[in-house]
Structure 1
Amino acid sequence: MDTHTSSANPVTLLGLGDMGTALARAWLAAGHPLTVWNRTPAKTAPLAAEGARVAATLAEAVAAATGPVVLCLLDDASVGETLDGADLSGKDLVNLTTSTPAQARARARWAEERGARFLDGGIMAVPPMIGHPESGGYVFYSGDRPLHERHRATLEVPAGARYVGEDAGHAALYDIALLSAMTGMFGGVTHAFALVRPEKDLDQAAFATSLAEWLGAMAGIAHGIAAQLESGDLTKGVTSNLAMMTTGNRTLLATARDQSVDSRLLGPFMELMRHRVEQGHGDEGLAGLTGLLRTDGAG
C-alpha cells in the first residue's frame, strides 16, 4: 500500500458504513490523524482501537476539523440532516455520498451559502478495493479545483483521484453514467448465461472465460462512439452498421426463442436500432441511438 506518509494531513470522516469504515482504515494505515463520527456510536469502537479519535458529537467533529471533512453517508438527504446547524464556515467539505448530478450541484450551492468549500465525489470501487491501489478502484471528483489540488495527496490514499471539472455535478454524472453502462452489460451477461444454461455438456466456467474476453475486446467501441459524437459524423469508422446489426438481431431473437429465453433485456435496445434504420440511418453505428434516448429532443 502507498502510505503517503509525507503528506499525512488530518482527516475528519462522517459516516462509518462499510465504505466509510474502509476509507477510515486506509487513512489510518497511511498515518493520517483521523477523527470519526457516526450516528450509531458503536461503529466507532473498532476504529478507536486502531487509533482514530472519536468525536462525541457531529458539531465537535466539524469544529475540530483542520483538514478535509469527508462525508460518506446514506444519501443526499442524510448529508443535509447530518450537517443541519453545524458551523461550516471555512471548512473543506468532500462529499463521497452517492447522489445525482442535480443534488451535487445543489449541495455545492448549499455549502457555499454556509461559507464552506465543496468537492463532490463518485466512488468507482467497492469497500474491499479501498486502500489497495492494485485493485484499480478510483474516485471521480468535481467542484472546487483549488480544494481538490490542496487535498489531492490525501484523497489519493484510499483510491485513485480523477478530477473531472469545476461543475460539481460532473463526478456524480460520470459515476452514474458508468454504472448505467455496467448495468446494461450485466443485462447482456445475464441473457447470455440464460441461453447456455440448459446445455448439460457445456462448461459454464469455460463459457465465462470466452464471454469476459469478448466483452473486453468490444469495450473499445466507447472511443468510436465518442469520436463520432464529437465530429458529428455518425458514420465515421463504422465497421458494423445499424442495418447489418438489425438484420443480425433476427438471429439473436430466433435463438432466444429456441432456447426458451425471454428477450425482454435485449428487445428494447434492438427496437431502437430498428427505428433508427427506418429513419434512414442504416449506415451509422450506435452513436445515433443516443439521440433517440434523449427525452428533451437534443440529438
Structure 2
Amino acid sequence: MTDNAVTAHTAPTSITLLGTGTMGTALARAWLAAGHAVTVWNRTPARAEALAAEGATVAASAAAAVAANRLVIVCLLDDASVGEALEGADLTGRDIVNLTTGTPAEGRARAAWAEERGARFADGGIMAVPPMIGDPASGAFVFYSGSAELVEEHRATLAVPAGVNFVGRDAGFAALHDVALLSGMYGMLGGVAHAFALIRGQDIAPKELAPLLQGWLNAMSSLVHVAAERLESGDFTTDVVSSLAMQAGGIGTFTRTAEEMGVSTELLTPYFDLMRRRVESGHGDEDNAGVIDLLRVRGA
C-alpha cells in the first residue's frame, strides 16, 4: 500500500541526508518545506551551499552528519560510495534508509553490513524523477524493504517527498521491484522508439501518431494482469485471444515493413526470436506469457 505525502499535522523530525545531487537536493527541499530540520553532507561541499541558504545544516563530514540524527537518509552515486561515506561513522542506534540505486544483492549485503554495526536498515527504490519529489499529485513513490519497524516508525516522515510502498523484509526487494518496473518502462520505450522510427521521413507528424500510440499502449496494458494470472496459475492456454503461433506467423510483416522504411529491427528481433522459440517447442496455442520463462537462466 502506498501512502500519500505527509499532512501538515505531522510532527517534524530531524533528518540527516547524505548526498545532495539532483535527487538528494529535491528530497532535502521537500523535508525543509515541510518544517523538518535537515542536516546534509556532500562529498563536494559546494553542492550543499544552496540548501544551507534554505535552512539546512551542512555537516563537515559524513560521520558528523550521521552523529547529528537518528534517522539517516543516504542518496549517493552507488553502493561503493555508500560504504565509503558510512565507513567511519558510528552507526549504533541509527536508522539507515538507503535510497541509492543498487541491485538486490547489494541491498541485502548492505543491510547485513549496517546491522552488524548496530543500525536498523531499509533499502529504497525511488520511482520518480526529481521534479516529482514533494508533489503529492505527481504519483511519486518509493519502494522500501528491510526493517518493517524502521519504515513504520518513520512512515510519515518518509512520505513527505514521495509515497511509501513497503514490499517486504527481504532488503533486496526494493531494488528488485525498482528494476522490474524500470525494465518494463525501457521495453515500452524500445517499442515506442521503433514506432516513431517507422514514420520518420513520411508525411505523418509524430504529434499525430503520439495519441494513437499512447491509446493503444493503454489498451494493451491489461495484458500485464493476464500474464501475472497465467504465471501464478500455470495455465497458459485457457481463453487465449491471440495465439503465439498466429502472432509468430506475422513477424515477417514487421520485418519487411521495417526494411521498406529503412529501419533496423534490433529492438524487436530479440522478442520475436523468443516467440519463435516458444512456438517451435510446441507451445503455439499459448499467448505471450509463455515466453517469460525462456528468459530465466538455467538453474536460476
2:18 matches 1:31:
no
Contact 2:10-2:156 at 8 Å conserved across structures: no
Offset of 1:41 from its aligned partner? 0.9
Secondary structure, counterpart of 1:128 in structure 2: helix
Query: Deviations along 1:152-178, whole A, 9 cap, x unmatched?
Result: 111110011111011000000010111
Q: Secondary structure at the match of 1:165?
A: coil
Deviations 1:28-62 (A, max 9, x none): 00111111111111112111111111112211111
Indicate the SS of the match to 2:189. Answer: helix
Task: State the Cα deviation string for residues 138-159 of structure 1 (Å, max 9, x = none).
Answer: 1100110111100111111001
Separation in structure 2 between the aligned mates of residue 97 and residue 4 of structure 1, nearest angstrom: 27
1:41 pairs with 2:45: yes
Q: How many Å separate the matches in 2 of 1:133 and 1:24?
A: 16
Alpha-carbon contact 2:6-2:159 (below 8 Å) kept:
no
Return the alpha-carbon distance in structure 2 between the equivalents of residues 216 and 171 of structure 1: 26
The answer for the alignment partner of 1:169 in structure 2 is 172
Whole-angstrom distance in 2 between the partners of 1:192 and 1:221: 19
Give the counterpart of 1:185 among 163, 185, 188.
188
What is aligned with 2:259?
A: 257
Please list the CA deviations of residues 242-292 of structure 1 after superposition, one character each: whole Å capped at 9, or x if unmatched: 111111222111111111111111011101101100111011112211111
- Structure 1 residue 5: Cα displacement: 4.1
User: 283-292 or 160-169: which moved more?
Assistant: 283-292
Match of 1:159 in 2: 162
Aligned equivalents of 2:234, 2:157: Cα separation in 1: 40
Quick one: which amino acid aligns to residue 105 of structure 2?
A: A
The answer to whether the 8 Å contact 2:126/2:141 transfers is yes
Choose from 26, 32, 54 the match for 1:50: 54
CA distance in 1, matches of 2:283, 2:295: 15
Runs of 4 or more off by more than 4 Å in structure 1? none
Do the aligned residues in 2 keep the contact of 1:188 with 1:266 (CA within 8 Å)?
Answer: yes
Alignment coverage as a number of residue pairs: 296
1:242, 1:115 → 2: CA distance? 53
Determine if the alignment matches structure 1 residue 107 to structure 2 residue 114.
no
Structure 1: 5+ residue runs without aligned partners? none
**3-state SS of 2:10 partner:** helix
Partner AA of 1:83 in structure 2: L
Over the matched positions of the two proteins, sequence identity in percent amounts to 62
State the one-letter code of the partner of 2:30.
Answer: A
2: distance between equivalents of 1:220 and 1:178?
15
Using the size of structure 1 for normalisation, the TM-score is 0.96
| CA displacement at 1:296 relative to structure 2 | 2.4
Q: 8 Å contact 1:11–1:32 — kept in the other structure?
A: yes
1:19 aligns with 2:23: yes
Q: How does 1:175-254 map to 2 (within 5 A)?
A: 175-199=178-202, 201-254=203-256
Question: Matches of 1:297 and 1:265 in 2, distance apart?
Answer: 27
Distance across 1 between alignment mates of 2:164 and 2:238: 33
Give the superposition deviation at 1:17.
0.2
Q: Cα offset for 1:297?
A: 4.3
Kindly state the Cα deviation for residue 238 of structure 1 after the two structures are TM-superposed. Answer: 2.4
How far 1:212 sits from its partner (Å)?
1.1
**CA distance in structure 2 between the partners assigned to 1:108 and 1:4 by the alignment:** 32
Contact 2:6 2:156 in 1 (8 A): no
* 1:121 paired residue among 121, 124, 130: 124
**Alpha-carbon distance between aligned partners in 2 of 1:65 and 1:236, rounded to the nearest angstrom:** 56
Output the amino acid matched with 2:258: A
Aligned-partner Cα distance in 2 for 1:210–1:72? 38
Residue 12 of structure 2 is aligned to residue 8 of structure 1: yes
- Greater relative contact order, per chain length (Cα 8 Å cut-off, separation 6+): 2
Residue range with higher mean Cα deviation, 50-59 or 163-172 = 50-59
Aligned partner of 1:97 in structure 2 is 100
Letter in 1 for 2:65: A
**Structure 2: gaps of 5 or more residues:** none
Judged with a 3 Å threshold, the aligned counterparts in structure 2 of structure 1 residues 279 and 297 are, in CA distance, closer, same or farther, namely: farther
Residue 280 of structure 1 aligns to a residue in which SS? Answer: helix
Going from structure 1 to structure 2, the CA distance change for 1:5 and 1:15 (only over 3 Å counts) comes to: farther
Question: Quick one: which amino acid aligns to residue 35 of structure 2?
Answer: G
